[in-house]
A and B are shown apart, each in its own frame.
Chain A
Amino acid sequence: MNAVITASGLGKRYRRTWALRDCTLTIPDGHVIGLVGPNGAGKTTLLRLATGMLTPTRGTITVLGARPAAGPAQLARVGFVAQDTPVYARMTVADHLRLGAWLNPGWDGTLARQRIGQLGLDPKQRAGSLSGGQRAQLALTLALAKRPELLILDEPVAALDPLARREFLQGLMEAVAGHGLSVVLSSHLVADLERVCDYLIVLVASQVRVAGDAGELLASHHRLSGPRRAPGTMPAGQEVITESHTDKQSNLLVRTDGPVLDPAWTVKPVSLEDLVLAYMSRAASQTPTARPQLGVVS
């Protein structure tokens, strides 16, 4: 398994504030990777650094083994759909396809026309008069038809209504299935990611809180409830992610590679949303350093 994105000590500062600070992560290829985190976690900055829209203040970032936006060949390998899916408002849909064809040697005109046809977009319509969902689809079409190896999407569906959101993600999944490209998709809405992502990275304050295959993450996390248990008395191998206690009862979300055998606990599976929220709400100081993060590729 190779990495599509490797970041090491990566930082980006705007004047005095750090938008991303000391971020180290590895994103494996062949996945649809969900990058999730609260607003201000540095998701957008990380993705803009990965596309070369920004240059790092500190550290390094490598995308598909090369510096982002290093040259035309590197640009051709990475597709990017930015936040709010920008398109040229005054240019028509057909103009956008022309733009794609002119600027990309690997342009797949058939794919582009097919997608526009399926979406029912009028090629003569100006992009400025498209609905949010149509605009997002046009931006996705441009990014897909250049036939990248890696597609990066920054909150592509954040502004869309639920139906448009589902159609967009469906279109994305079809393309992934058809062309076998790696996708990195950021969102602060876990429900979107749950539908399409098979690999999850939770980013909080520039730091990776948890990263791993979605299935493995779900299998290794459990919600436990039972009689009150003093904090810090869990057996080795059961890491408490979040805990809440009442006078009589304890509710825990634990991570363990083995089964939970203590009969005092009622064990329930967790949803991806619970899991992500647990990691997002967990204080930064609690992040274990000794334990290797599950599924992170070295």
Chain B
Amino acid sequence: MIRLSLLQFRAQVVSAVITMVVYAAVLAATGPHLASMYTADGVGCHGGCHGGAAADYFTGSLIRTPYLVLYLLSVGIILLAPAVIGLFWGAPLIARELETGTDALAWNQSVTRTRWLAVKLTTGVVTAMAVTEALCLMQSWWAAPIGRAVGDGASGTVLAQGRFTQLVFDTHGVTPLGYAAFAFTLGVTAGAVIRRTIPAMAVTLAIFAALQVAMPLWIRPNLAPADHTVLSVASLGGVAEAQSGPGGTSFTLTALSVPGQPGAWLLSSGPVNAAGQATSSTPAACTSVGTAGSGVGGKESSNGPVPGAPSFVGCLASHSIRETITYQPASRYWRFQATETGIYLALALVLAGYCFRRLSRHLS
């Protein structure tokens, strides 16, 4: 049965290998140059180097090179790989047999349907996980200089994102293993339920995409209880501030990073008054202190209060306005990775169990 499974899986394996070879070739051809740019920019120093400005310069300069496109493509392929696998490998696995009537051929050999499915699922899941993780490892190697620059404090561009951002979290570590296993079994299940390949593919894509959006937005932040901290607004390294309303009577103040917690995942932030309650009304004394010259508008400041000038943030600080920040510390990265992967693997197991039940009892 394993040999048959491999025989019937040949086309998929060939296409996967071609994809991986092309992917590897492109990355291998450009990776060394990217790494040399990283050292040339001087951010690759070892031991006690905190070249935040140099790291910023490195990632900033990459934006203007084809490496930006290459980076987004390489990440995009990893994000898409599980979906493609679910659609084109998972969905047809049972649905195609039912559509072409070959189920009668496959399930009337001296092999039970349970064993047939067990072997087919295992082959598919293992291949899906291997392919996705291989892409991840290649990308991690290629993008290592960018990762180190981010570690050195680069921020503010699409290339300088923390490990908790969706683009990075979803394409690194072990999460892609979970996505691949889940997407494949989701496709198989959709095919078994809907019994037609194309609609099963559509449903697979819809469910997988919905989950991939819901996960980072609503589920992932709650996988571990978040930490809270209340800080002086003056101590914030970077803020986005805005005043609004007649005469600038209301304001917002959003932290851009968690002070003293490099690499932490900032979930939410906002100003609180002396009593510790969330506030949005500007202290009367501060309404005349504009954020960007005018009373109404907004500006982003990453350098904190401008020395010498009457600063809005400084005024807030002197009126007991503090900033509360909800975040996940960087040290929880692997815990989040493991939890999320576990969730997807568990979902895959549940779906697989359902497929076995359906195949042995209800199908056709």
Taking Cβ atoms with an 8 Å cutoff, the residues of A that contact B are 48, 51-55, 69, 71-73, 75-76, 78-80, 82-84, 86-91, 95, 98-100, 102-106, 139, 142-143, 146
Given contacts A102-B3, A139-B105, contact A71 B112 (CB under 8 A): yes
Please indicate the chain B residues that have their CB under 8 angstroms from the CB of A139 in the complex. Answer: 105
Contact B108 A105 (CB under 8 A): no
Q: Residue on A with the closest CB to B362?
A: A55
8 Å CB interface, B96-118 against A: 100-105, 107-113, 115
Please indicate the chain A residues that have their CB under 8 angstroms from the CB of B22 in the complex. Answer: none
| A100 to B109 Cα, complex, angstroms | 7
Contact B7 A89 (CB under 8 A): no
Interface: B46 (CB within 8 A): no
Interface: B1 (CB within 8 A): yes
| A79 to B107 Cα, complex, angstroms | 11
Contact A51 B4 (CB under 8 A): no
Contact B105 A104 (CB under 8 A): no
Taking Cβ atoms with an 8 Å cutoff, the residues of B that contact A are 1, 3-4, 7-8, 11, 100-105, 107-113, 115, 361-362, 364
The 6 closest A-B pairs by CB, nearest first: A82-B104, A103-B109, A86-B101, A76-B110, A80-B108, A104-B110
Could you say which of B3, B100, B361 contacts A86, with CB atoms under 8 Å apart? B100
Please indicate the chain A residues that have their CB under 8 angstroms from the CB of B11 in the complex. Answer: 90
Could you say which of A71, A86, A100 contacts B104, with CB atoms under 8 Å apart? A86
- 8 further contact pairs, Cβ within 8 A, besides A53-B107, A86-B102: A75-B108, A75-B112, A80-B108, A86-B101, A86-B104, A98-B4, A99-B7, A146-B109
Given contacts A55-B361, A69-B112, A102-B1, contact A87 B104 (CB under 8 A): no
Q: List 26 A-B contacts (CB under 8 A).
A: A48-B104, A53-B108, A53-B364, A55-B362, A69-B107, A69-B108, A75-B109, A75-B110, A75-B112, A76-B110, A82-B101, A83-B101, A84-B101, A86-B101, A86-B102, A87-B102, A90-B11, A91-B8, A99-B4, A99-B109, A102-B1, A102-B3, A103-B110, A104-B109, A105-B110, A139-B105
Please indicate the chain B residues that have their CB under 8 angstroms from the CB of A82 in the complex. Answer: 101, 104-105, 108
| A90 to B12 Cα, complex, angstroms | 13
| A98 to B4 Cα, complex, angstroms | 8
| A188 to B1 Cα, complex, angstroms | 36
Please indicate the chain A residues that have their CB under 8 angstroms from the CB of B4 in the complex. Answer: 98-99, 102-103
Please indicate the chain B residues that have their CB under 8 angstroms from the CB of A87 in the complex. Answer: 102, 105
Q: How close is A56's CB to chain B, nearest CB, in angstroms? A: 12
Contact A51 B105 (CB under 8 A): no
Q: Residue on B with the closest CB to A90?
A: B11
| A295 to B335 Cα, complex, angstroms | 73
Please indicate the chain A residues that have their CB under 8 angstroms from the CB of B111 in the complex. Answer: 72, 75, 103
Please indicate the chain A residues that have their CB under 8 angstroms from the CB of B7 in the complex. Answer: 91, 95, 98-99
Q: Residue on A with the closest CB to B103?
A: A53
Q: Residue on A with the closest CB to B116?
A: A103
Looking at A84, A99, A143, which has the most chain B CB atoms within 10 Å of its CB?
A: A99
Please indicate the chain B residues that have their CB under 8 angstroms from the CB of A83 in the complex. Answer: 101
| A185 to B263 Cα, complex, angstroms | 71
Please indicate the chain A residues that have their CB under 8 angstroms from the CB of B112 in the complex. Answer: 69, 71-72, 75
| A76 to B110 Cα, complex, angstroms | 5
Q: How close is B107's CB to chain A, nearest CB, in angstroms? A: 7
| A95 to B110 Cα, complex, angstroms | 17
Q: How close is A144's CB to chain B, nearest CB, in angstroms? A: 13
Contact A86 B105 (CB under 8 A): yes
Contact A88 B101 (CB under 8 A): no
Given contacts A54-B364, A55-B361, A103-B4, contact A142 B105 (CB under 8 A): yes
Please indicate the chain B residues that have their CB under 8 angstroms from the CB of A71 in the complex. Answer: 112
Q: Residue on A with the closest CB to B113?
A: A69
Q: Residue on B with the closest CB to A73?
A: B110
| A54 to B361 Cα, complex, angstroms | 8
Please indicate the chain B residues that have their CB under 8 angstroms from the CB of A52 in the complex. Answer: 107
Could you say which of B1, B3, B104 contacts A51, with CB atoms under 8 Å apart? B104
| A104 to B108 Cα, complex, angstroms | 10
Please indicate the chain A residues that have their CB under 8 angstroms from the CB of B103 in the complex. Answer: 53
Contact B104 A80 (CB under 8 A): yes
Please indicate the chain A residues that have their CB under 8 angstroms from the CB of B105 in the complex. Answer: 82, 86-88, 139, 142
| A80 to B364 Cα, complex, angstroms | 15
Contact A103 B1 (CB under 8 A): yes
Q: Residue on B with the closest CB to A142?
A: B105
Q: Residue on A with the closest CB to B108?
A: A80
| A103 to B115 Cα, complex, angstroms | 11
Contact A51 B101 (CB under 8 A): no
Q: How close is B22's CB to chain A, nearest CB, in angstroms? A: 24
Contact B107 A89 (CB under 8 A): no
| A82 to B115 Cα, complex, angstroms | 21
Q: How close is B360's CB to chain A, nearest CB, in angstroms? A: 9
Q: Residue on A with the closest CB to B364?
A: A53
